[in-house]
Structure 1
């Protein structure tokens, strides 16, 4: 369970394959107008196996808490490096758009995909790698579970938007579907959507492939502020 939650972290990891990406953003701030926003402040993953004192400073939280700060359309992440007597912390920031709709779409710039093949393999693989390298926007579905008195989201469930079902063992590339959802085209180990309708349909189709609620990541608001 813990590994899956980390995989579908609120921060969409660039290394995850079989996920919808795009070269340019499908959504902008106008697409979020009129819909409940995430409440600003400190957030954490909901994981029964991850026990910690939420009153402690974020530096003292375990990594399984997936600590982060939401501030408007920006997410701040506290990163830890080093170990032993020498531990350093630094903040990273990512902008995101959370679209309106019953099933929300979380779009963010996630950077160049990791793990691209070496360009020298063949001209064909070089062309694929070049196309994949331009797919720098990532997408996840988000369903609000609770609102506060002011109508802000204080708990939600999220999951990555897949290209299609994972291929059966021994069938094609194990990292990307061989049966993409309608309106999606596989590019390398990712895929692109023909339009917003195809992207939203893929979000719903992915949810159907994750019938157990424990297969989807949950997050909750903890407190105001940024520490």
Structure 2
């Protein structure tokens, strides 16, 4: 699994086994109409308790800051090369709605047991003068309550949340329709933000232009 995808999953306190996936992208360019736009530049999605200075060079940030360069269609992060630039990228598309949904295509180099597509809920909290998102709630679409999906296999229910189906030989689940996916996103938001220290929902925020 690419380091940037791993960072997204770990930052949310989850593994790929928790994710709702799909056999094909559920959202197209049509769904992007009227969708919010993330301000391009350097973003962070710090894990709980992470200490770092946003003003410092991004190269000096600890892994828990989960820094990434966000463009109109890519999340670029992971390891840095000799020039300090990020080296890994995931393509994404934001779909409009309440909340918005980020459809992330995982790399072809992913582990065989990992999903090809994952979905993240995006609820804007702040925007710049041009209406671009500068801060947002982020959380992953889960197959079921986090206490269940994070537990041992024997603890997982045979029946997943409505509209989701298991994948033979895999540990993630699949949504066949936008309706099922959006329902999973809505349920997962409630699970993600309960005001507890181990909440898996996080706050992502824009730091500055560029990637350093």
Q: Scaled by the length of structure 1, what TM-score is found?
A: 0.75
1: CA distance, partners of 2:140 / 2:47: 18
Secondary structure of 1:167's aligned partner: helix
Residue 193 (structure 1) aligns with: 175
Residue 190 of structure 2 is aligned to residue 205 of structure 1: no
Residue 168 of structure 2 is aligned to residue 183 of structure 1: no
Secondary structure of 2:16's aligned partner: coil
Residue 155 (structure 1) aligns with: 135
Matched residues, number: 199
Displacement, 1:46? Answer: 4.0
Q: Which runs of 5+ in 2 are unaligned?
A: 1-6
Residue 125 of structure 2 is aligned to residue 145 of structure 1: yes
CA contact (8 A) 2:38 2:70 kept: yes
Q: Scaled by the length of structure 2, what TM-score is found?
A: 0.80
The partner residue of 2:103 within 107, 116, 126 is 107
Runs of 4+ in 1 over 3 A off after TM superposition: 5-10, 111-116, 166-174, 176-179
The residue correspondences of 1:157-172 to structure 2 (distance < 5 A) are 157-165=137-145, 166-167=147-148, 172=153
2: CA distance, partners of 1:89 / 1:43: 14
Secondary structure of 1:17's aligned partner: helix
Residue 93 (structure 2) aligns with: 97
Secondary structure of 2:188's aligned partner: helix
Displacement, 1:6? Answer: 5.9
Secondary structure of 1:208's aligned partner: helix
CA contact (8 A) 1:167 1:178 kept: no
Cα distance 1:170–1:62, how it changes in 2: closer, same or farther (>3 A)?
A: closer
Cα distance 1:8–1:154, how it changes in 2: closer, same or farther (>3 A)?
A: farther
2: CA distance, partners of 1:206 / 1:167: 13
Displacement, 1:49? Answer: 2.1
Displacement, 1:160? Answer: 1.1
Residue 32 of structure 2 is aligned to residue 32 of structure 1: yes
Q: Which runs of 5+ in 1 are unaligned?
A: 117-132
RMSD of Structure 2 on Structure 1 (CA): 3.1
Deviations along 1:76-117, one digit per CA (max 9) or x if unpaired, are: 104159xxxx9x97511111011101211111111466374x
CA contact (8 A) 1:8 1:159 kept: no
CA contact (8 A) 2:44 2:205 kept: yes
Cα distance 1:211–1:57, how it changes in 2: closer, same or farther (>3 A)?
A: closer
